[in-house]
A and B are shown apart, each in its own frame.
Chain A
Amino acid sequence: DVKVTQSSRYLVKRTGEKVFLECVQDMDHENMFWYRQDPGLGLRLIYFSYDVKMKEKGDIPEGYSVSREKKERFSLILESASTNQTSMYLCASRPSRGKNSGANVLTFGAGSRLTVL
């Protein structure tokens, strides 16, 4: 019944390493999102995508990039990991917002906890 799958639940990386966080959804959703969650700061939006090969910066895109080559997959890339990127990363998806739609709820993955040493 899992609908949004994040490939790694826990990762430990070293400073300067390139890190890929993968997210796959099987609901044919157009929109996908990457958030990071830190205690006391809530969820902050890093990047989102509303179509294949399309991406939009969120509130904290610095130090991150994304890739969406296929509709079902949205990857978050840390080109050179730093200790301040130690965090929980949450991927989410939802269908595109129809004109009559209301809630259009996000479905979240289980999260990827990244530790950068």
Chain B
Amino acid sequence: AQKITQTQPGMFVQEKEAVTLDCTYDTSDPSYGLFWYKQPSSGEMIFLIYQGSYDQQNATEGRYSLNFQKARKSANLVISASQLGDSAMYFCAMREGAYNTDKLIFGTGTRLQVFP
């Protein structure tokens, strides 16, 4: 079974608009972490934002915020005021495993295209 599900293979958004990229996860571990990475066409993976399972508030980093709904097991990425440079692949990931030998499991990604 998929542990990280990204149901949107592709999304379009107009410049300066906000966009939400969906991510749902599946775990029975009470302690876990959720990450979002961006991969531009150049290929490098860029860390965007992190949410711990015990964090009380939704994570924010500049124009990025994570809409964390624990009961629904969702961790959607919200990008406000989209820019052309936001066009990229976006991956949601979950940390699972025992302390110090844990690993990151990635979703299949969402390709975001920002148009003028």
Contact = CB atoms under 8 A, between A and B. Distances in A.
Interface of A: 31, 33, 35, 40-45, 48, 50, 56, 58-59, 88, 90, 92, 96-97, 99, 102-106, 108, 110-111
A103 B44 contact: no
Interface in B67-108: 91, 93, 95, 99-108
A99 to B, nearest CB: 7
Contact of A102 (B4, B43, B52, B93): B52
Interface centre among A58, A90, A108 (most CB of B within 10 A): A108
Interface residues of B, number: 25
B52 A106 contact: no
A90 B106 contact: no
Nearest to B55: A102
B103 A103 contact: no
A105 B103 contact: no
